[in-house]
């Protein structure tokens, strides 16, 4: 039995006892510490569906529980679970909550948002595409980062889906606010593009070439992606050619 199956087995008997579920999550969160218990979050998302409780936990603010407080893991688990809830309910309220959490000051909460969207994409990529086409139009840097990181998920990336990712990345690069949380967006861009290119190298390297040499900041972003082993290790000639142009 794997760790996630074990956690599901331990959660299932108490799943309708909110107090016990809260206690279990906090005690097994691995917080404070450098690595939260992701398997617990994924196990919880498989078995829990009380929307009211999920909304309550998503409302736990940074002032109430900082990123290393065990109580913040309740919010983390709830956010991850919202991906499943959205697939079931198609409730736009869920997307509004995830959008708000994409702006959370706690980095773990921002990662939870990506996990929620990745769950949606694994089950219905067309739905995820629809959500992000609408969202990208009016989005700040943290929200753009959430979209990119959510899409940088190899399990649902194929050549066709990657083309949508390049479309989104093109919009991001053309409409970057270079002040508010720009460093966070740059860190996201510094690896996500390489994931998209690995899924569709023919279109991907052409996309990168179209951006090289126009802007120093974007050149540095492309350089960071070209360093990733998923590109440098598999496509050395293409990488070397582009690096010469930067």
- Answer with the one of 123, 153, 180 that is the final residue of a domain: 123
Both 111 and 5 in one domain: the answer is: yes
Give the pTM.
0.96
Both 93 and 209 in one domain: the answer is: no
Per the structure block, which two tokens stand in for 133? 């086409």
Both 157 and 237 in one domain: the answer is: yes
Both 119 and 136 in one domain: the answer is: no
Q: Which helix (H) or strand (E) holds 31?
A: none
Both 46 and 36 in one domain: the answer is: yes
Q: Which helix (H) or strand (E) holds 231?
A: helix 229-232
Per-residue pLDDT of the chain (246 residues; tens, 9 = 90+): 689 999 999 999 999 999 999 999 999 999 999 999 999 999 999 999 999 999 999 999 999 999 999 999 999 999 999 999 999 999 999 999 999 999 999 999 999 999 999 999 999 999 999 999 999 999 999 999 999 999 999 999 999 999 999 999 999 999 999 999 999 999 999 999 999 999 999 999 999 999 999 899 999 999 999 999 999 999 999 999 999 999
Mean pLDDT of the chain: 97
Give the model's pLDDT for residue 1. Answer: 64
**How far does Cα 205 stand from its chain's mean position?**
23
Q: Are 176 and 167 in contact (CB under 8 A)?
A: no
Domain that holds residue 44: 1-123
Q: How far apart are CA 80 and CA 1, in angstroms?
A: 23
- Answer with the one of 123, 157, 176 that is the final residue of a domain: 123
Q: Which helix (H) or strand (E) holds 49?
A: none
Both 160 and 112 in one domain: the answer is: no
Q: Are 72 and 57 in contact (CB under 8 A)?
A: no
Both 69 and 148 in one domain: the answer is: no
For the chain, what is the domain count?
Answer: 2
- Answer with the one of 67, 101, 123 that is the final residue of a domain: 123
122-153 tens-digit pLDDT: 999 999 999 999 999 999 999 999 999 999 99
Both 144 and 190 in one domain: the answer is: yes
Beta strands in 64-150 (DSSP E): none
């Amino acid at each position: 039995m794997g760790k996630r199956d074990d956690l599901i087995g331990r959660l299932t008997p108490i799943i309708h006892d909110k107090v016990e579920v809260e206690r279990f999550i906090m005690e097994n969160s691995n917080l404070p510490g450098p690595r939260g218990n992701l398997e617990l979050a994924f196990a919880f998302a498989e078995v829990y569906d009380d929307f009211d409780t999920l909304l309550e936990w998503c409302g736990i603010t940074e002032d109430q529980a900082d990123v290393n407080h065990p109580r913040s893991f309740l919010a983390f688990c709830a956010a991850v679970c919202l991906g499943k809830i959205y697939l079931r309910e198609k409730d736009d309220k869920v997307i509004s909550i995830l959008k708000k959490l994409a702006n959370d000051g706690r980095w773990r909460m921002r990662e939870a948002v990506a996990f929620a969207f990745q769950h949606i994409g694994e089950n219905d990529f067309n739905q995820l595409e629809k959500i992000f086409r609408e969202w990208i139009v009016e989005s700040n840097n943290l929200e753009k980062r959430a979209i990119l990181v959510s899409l940088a998920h190899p399990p649902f990336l194929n050549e066709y889906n990657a083309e949508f990712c390049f479309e989104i990345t093109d919009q991001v690069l053309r409409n970057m606010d270079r002040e508010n949380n720009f460093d966070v967006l740059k860190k996201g861009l510094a690896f996500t593009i390489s994931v998209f290119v690995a899924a569709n190298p023919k279109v991907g390297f052409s996309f990168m070439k179209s951006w090289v040499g126009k802007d120093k900041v974007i050149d540095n972003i492309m350089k960071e992606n070209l360093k990733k082993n998923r590109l440098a290790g598999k496509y050395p000639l293409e990488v070397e050619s582009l690096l010469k142009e930067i």
